[in-house]
Amino acid sequence: MIDIKLIRENADLVKENIKKKFQEQKLTLVDEVIELDKKSRELTLLCDDLRMQRNSKSKEIGNLMSQGKKEEAEKIKSEVNEINAKLEANAGKEDELKEEIKQRMMKIPNIMDESVPIGKDDSENVENEKFGESAIPSYEIPYHADIIEKLSGIDKESAGRTSGNGFYYLIGDVARLHEAMIAYARDFMISKGFTYAIPPFMIRSDVVNGVMSFEELEAMMYKIEGEDLYLIGTSEHSMIGKFKGQIVKEEELPICMTSYSPCFRKEVGSHGLEERGLYRVHQFEKQEMIVLCKEEDAMDWYNKMWKFTVDFFRSLDVPVRTLECCSGDLADLKVKSCDVEAWSPRQQKYFEVGSCSTLGTAQARRLSIRAKGEKGNYLVATLNNTVVASPRGLIAVLENNYMEDGSVKVPEVLWNYMGGTKVISPKK
């Protein structure tokens, strides 16, 4: 959510930003906010004036009573009652207007960074840089589900009976490899100075509304029936929510944390779920990183964070690239975002394994997260980035370490997490 002062003082900038995101249907929201804000401020002034009148007359009543002028005091009491009635009615209207303003403001997209490329959808995202050689072996790389099945590492049939489509059992060494990657990601980020956390896996609606846009909420989140609770789609939701309504000390910035969680997503939309594979599923596990910092430091942290993910995957012998999200693919709360994509030797193309975003002060404004500095309190900037989300990260490791005999090399950095296992071979 942007600062309403920006709409008051530079509505054209806000409208131009909406046009760049190809959301012309939202242009009317800006004019509506301006009009409602004008009415709201007029009501605020009226209510303030009524309160001053009430206070003045209340003092007058006290003076008259002390002089024994009860009849005159009763007359003024009647006037005070009339003022109170007006004040109550106008205060109610003021609250209604503020809520209407808030609902519209929540739908107006954040101001993008000037460096964001302009494009209508993800087909117009821009490749930034490649890391590692995207090699194609002389032998065929099977579909990842087939690789896992030959390693006796998956049971989707049983998961279908227990939970339905979009769920899975990971078994044996493949399950262990999955968890080894998560554990390694935890230690990798701790070595970068991040504090490890395991957050709540359910959050209340006020936190959900603070960390994501309405469009994301509808497409992603599972609601707990009869409760004001949602299953998290990523631990970023809980981790940013941790600071809701808090004032942190400026000397504590930047706050850098890495968090583990299962993630739950509806996956509503055109992509659909995969019947056999693990690329798009309802449940997965993830190691995340979040940073709270001064707004002027946000872009430096953004560049550090996506590089951490690149370094992580390169240590697993997985070639990657970064892809800049264009304006039309950028979620409304984000200032700038890029995807980290892993090379698929089977498909001979890259696929998304992580996403890094800076959201400016939008989440902090919604959740009232501030820092206390020498010149007063100010909103912090928030950033988030995927270290690894498995099973997508698992798919990347399996494909890029697959050998012609059907076995899979375990990347050296994972040997200790695998109890010394260096190769996973097909079961006979």
Whether 62 is covered by a domain: the verdict is yes
Sequence letter at residue 134: S
Whether 111 is covered by a domain: the verdict is no
What are the residues facing 290 on neighbouring strands?
A: 257, 384
Whether 115 is covered by a domain: the verdict is no
Rama region for 353: left / alpha / beta (φ>0; ψ in -120 to 50; rest): alpha
Clarify whether residues 37 and 156 are in a common domain. Answer: no
Clarify whether residues 250 and 294 are in a common domain. Answer: yes
Q: Which is nearest to 261 in space by CA: 200, 207, 205?
A: 200
C-alpha to C-alpha distance for 324 and 128, rounded to whole angstroms: 6
Whether 114 is covered by a domain: the verdict is no
Tell me the CA distances in angstroms from 105 to 26, 213, 357, 365, one per residue in order. 10, 11, 21, 11
Clarify whether residues 329 and 227 are in a common domain. Answer: yes
State the residue range of the domain holding 55: 4-105
Sequence letter at residue 64: L
Clarify whether residues 344 and 220 are in a common domain. Answer: yes
Whether 110 is covered by a domain: the verdict is no
Number of domains within the chain: 2
Q: Which is nearest to 203 in space by CA: 166, 244, 257?
A: 244
pTM greater than 0.95: no
Helix (H, G, I), strand (E, B) or coil at 320: strand
Q: What is the pLDDT of residue 270?
A: 43
C-alpha to C-alpha distance for 26 and 337, rounded to whole angstroms: 22
Clarify whether residues 165 and 56 are in a common domain. Answer: no
Clarify whether residues 191 and 82 are in a common domain. Answer: no
Tell me the CA distances in angstroms from 158 to 145, 162, 165, 171, one per residue in order. 15, 6, 10, 12
Longest Cα–Cα distance of the chain, Å, equals 106
Summarised one tens digit per residue, pLDDT across range 141-198 is 999 999 999 999 999 899 989 998 888 999 999 999 999 999 999 999 999 999 999 9
Clarify whether residues 181 and 286 are in a common domain. Answer: yes
Summarised one tens digit per residue, pLDDT across range 341-373 is 999 999 999 999 999 999 999 999 999 999 999
Q: What are phi and psi of 248, to 5 degrees?
A: -95, 155
Residues in the chain predicted with pLDDT less than 50, given as ranges, are 270
Q: What is the pLDDT of residue 58?
A: 79
Clarify whether residues 396 and 248 are in a common domain. Answer: yes
Whether 417 is covered by a domain: the verdict is yes
Clarify whether residues 63 and 148 are in a common domain. Answer: no
C-alpha to C-alpha distance for 357 and 339, rounded to whole angstroms: 9
Residue where a domain terminates, one of 105, 137, 162: 105
Clarify whether residues 87 and 235 are in a common domain. Answer: no
C-alpha to C-alpha distance for 242 and 367, rounded to whole angstroms: 10
Sequence letter at residue 17: N
C-alpha to C-alpha distance for 39 and 62, rounded to whole angstroms: 35
Structure tokens at 223: 């609601």
| DSSP 8-state symbol, 316 | T
In this structure, what CATH number is given to the domain that contains residue 31?
1.10.287.40
Residue where a domain terminates, one of 105, 134, 162: 105
End-to-end CA distance of the chain: 57
**DSSP per-residue codes, 91-113:** HHHHHHHHHHHHHHHTTSPPPPP
Clarify whether residues 39 and 158 are in a common domain. Answer: no
Whether 353 is covered by a domain: the verdict is yes
Whether 380 is covered by a domain: the verdict is yes
Contacts of 68 by beta carbon, 8 Å cutoff, 6+ apart: none
What are the residues facing 384 on neighbouring strands?
A: 290, 357
In this structure, what CATH number is given to the domain that contains residue 254?
3.30.930.10
Q: How many angstroms from the chain centroid is the CA of residue 332?
A: 11
Task: Describe the crossing of helices 27-66 and 11-20 by its angle, rounded to 10 degrees.
Answer: 140
Do residues 414 and 184 touch, judged by C-beta distance below 8 A?
Answer: yes
Clarify whether residues 364 and 412 are in a common domain. Answer: yes
Structure tokens at 135: 């090699």
